[in-house]
A and B are shown apart, each in its own frame.
Chain A
């Protein structure tokens, strides 16, 4: 079974631009969560989707948004990029709706200059 795939692996963007990151979950998994990882802040929860519905959202500004498609693939978008958005963005897929293991992708390293 293929693991969680995130594309692209690396991105360099300029302040003010927008960016879209993609996540393909493990086949059969319907839950996809997104996390922002920065040094010292650990894994900060962005949002979680299950069957195309956003079920939970972390404490991030509205510039961060996401969606999930009928095949469970998910995208997250960040508009009006700021230098502080530079981070590793990880997505994780889970086989059930809650209380279950999350499998992580390799992440997308976003650098904002």
Chain B
């Protein structure tokens, strides 16, 4: 089955800096890659996603890049703000029948002002 590795597990940045979180996956046929943000005590919520026919997608301060050859994708947050502090999860949905959305173990991002 699909295996998703996420790094780093914790990330501390100063307000205004950029943050990058990287995930690698094992199934080369996977073609849907979402990122979720989970604030303390709340449910995970989708912040951005990318499909395999696109190399990069941007939404204001958030961007995701995908390298299908190397089987990795990354979340980029620019001009970080204290409200960006949360746990971020990458996920992968395989392309085979019977697959499901598999998550990385998460990155705790702390933005200090």
Contacts and interface: CB of A to CB of B under 8 A. Distances in A.
Interface of A: 33, 35, 40-45, 48, 55-56, 58, 90, 92, 94, 98-107
A101 B35 CA distance: 10
**Prevailing SS type, chain A contact patch:** strand
Contacts of B101: 33, 45, 92, 94, 102
A90 B44 contact: yes
Contact of B106 (A42, A56, A104): A42
Interface in B31-85: 31-32, 34, 42-46, 49, 51
B105 interface: yes
B31 A99 contact: yes
16 contacts: A40-B105, A43-B106, A45-B103, A56-B99, A56-B100, A58-B100, A98-B94, A98-B99, A99-B93, A100-B32, A100-B93, A102-B34, A102-B91, A103-B46, A104-B43, A105-B43
A43 B102 CA distance: 8
B33 to A, nearest CB: 10
Contact of A107 (B43, B46, B89): B43
Interface residues of B, number: 26
A106 B43 contact: yes
Contact of B43 (A33, A48, A56, A90): A90
Nearest to B105: A42
A104 B46 CA distance: 9
The residue in B93, B98, B100, B103 that gathers the most chain A C-beta atoms within 10 A of its C-beta is B100
Contacts of A98: 32, 93-95, 99
Contacts of A94: 101
